[in-house]
Amino acid sequence: MSEYRLKMIVKYKESEVFYTDKGKGSAVVLLHGFLENHSMWNEVSGELSKKNRVITVDLLGHGKTDSVGYIHLMSEMALVVQTVLKKLRIRKSYFIGHSMGGYVSLEFAKLFPEKVKGICLMNSTSQEDTEERKRIRKGANEIAKKHLTKLIQNAIPNLFAEDSKEKNSEKIKEVLEQAKQTSVRGYMAANEGMLLRTNNEEVLKQFEKRAIIVGKNDPVLNYDTIVKEAKRTNTTLVEFSNGHMSHIENKELLIDFLKQFVK
């Protein structure tokens, strides 16, 4: 028997969207990051679902969910999430988004503020891409057209803090295998969508319950910039010692915090 009460598919445009639904209680939506899928949350959802109803979604072009175009705007990803929640008749949820999943959470909150109890940006930000980051995304998309596997092999280990790579070597291999399941189209469409997103600090500030989780040695998001963002938006800041992958590098501390956040 499946560990999930539901492991199902819902239709969005021409794509079948995969999602899971586990546990009872207040609804918690867990949204994965770029090159990830619902399975990144397995250990987190196992703990949270003891007292909550936990929903995970494979976002467009990731995991078992197909692409619907050549640009996946974060707002369209949010509509995918709403399609799932509507199917499940869930009216209001906590949103916890890792990296790209945080961007999607904010777009969902912009579109459906009445459906959000709180937002936790995990190794994520409400800011838009810097010009340098946009340049990097454009360059990566050009490389992805011919060398996606090599691009992924180089990128994934660099999400971890340098001194945590050896300890998490087996987990890095798992993340790599998950990432390699992403198609060229899925990679490029999500990258374009992230590049086009706008600043959502005002959206974040709407919600009384809000938090940002930051890794002090995150190679993707600048620590000092995130600290300033938290102060500027008066958002609870949770600092971990490692990199961009808090669900692996600081798993126990993350789970303890999230249990309190959705309590």
CA dihedral in degrees (200, 216, 144, 167; nearest 10)?
Answer: -140
Work out the percent of the chain whose per-residue pLDDT is above 90.
95
Where residue 14 falls among pLDDT bands split at 50, 70, 90? confident
Q: How many helices (H) and strands (E) does the chain have?
A: 10, 8
The pLDDT tens digits of the residues spanning 101-147 come to 999 999 999 999 999 999 999 999 999 999 999 999 999 999 999 99
Q: Cβ(246)–Cβ(254) under 8 Å? A: yes
Please state the three-class secondary structure of the chain as a single string. CCCCCEEEEEEECCEEEEEEEECCCEEEEEECCCCCCHHHHHHHHHHHCCCEEEEEECCCCCCCCCCCCCCCCHHHHHHHHHHHHHHHCCCCEEEEEECHHHHHHHHHHHHCHHHEEEEEEECCCCCCCCHHHHHHHHHHHHHHHHHHHHHHHHHHHHHCCHHHCCCCHHHHHHHHHHHCCCCHHHHHHHHHHHHCCCCCHHHHCCCCCEEEEEECCCCCCCHHHHHHHHHHHCCEEEEECCCCCHHHHCHHHHHHHHHHHCC
Provide the pLDDT for residue 2.
42
User: For residue 158, how many other CB atoms are within 10 A of its CB?
Assistant: 12
CA separation for the pair 88, 164 (Å, rounded)? 38
In the chain, what are the domains?
A: 6-261 (3.40.50.1820)
Residues above pLDDT 70, as percent of the chain: 97
For 183-234, write each residue's pLDDT tens digit.
Answer: 999 999 999 999 999 999 999 999 999 999 999 999 999 999 999 999 999 9
- Is the pLDDT score of 62 beyond 90? yes
pLDDT tens readout for residues 35-50: 999 999 999 999 999 9
Helix then strand then coil, % of the chain, to nearest 5: 50, 20, 35
pLDDT for 1 equals 35
* pLDDT class of 7 with cuts at 50, 70, 90: low
Strands 26-31 and 52-57: parallel
Please answer whether residues 194 and 141 qualify as being in contact, where contact means their C-beta atoms are separated by less than 8 angstroms. no
> Does the pLDDT at position 3 exceed 90?
no
Tokens of 261: 């956040």
The bridge status of strand 93-98 relative to strand 210-215 is unpaired
**241, pLDDT greater than 60:** yes
Task: Check whether 4 has a pLDDT greater than 60.
Answer: no
Residues 6+ apart with CB under 8 A from 130: none
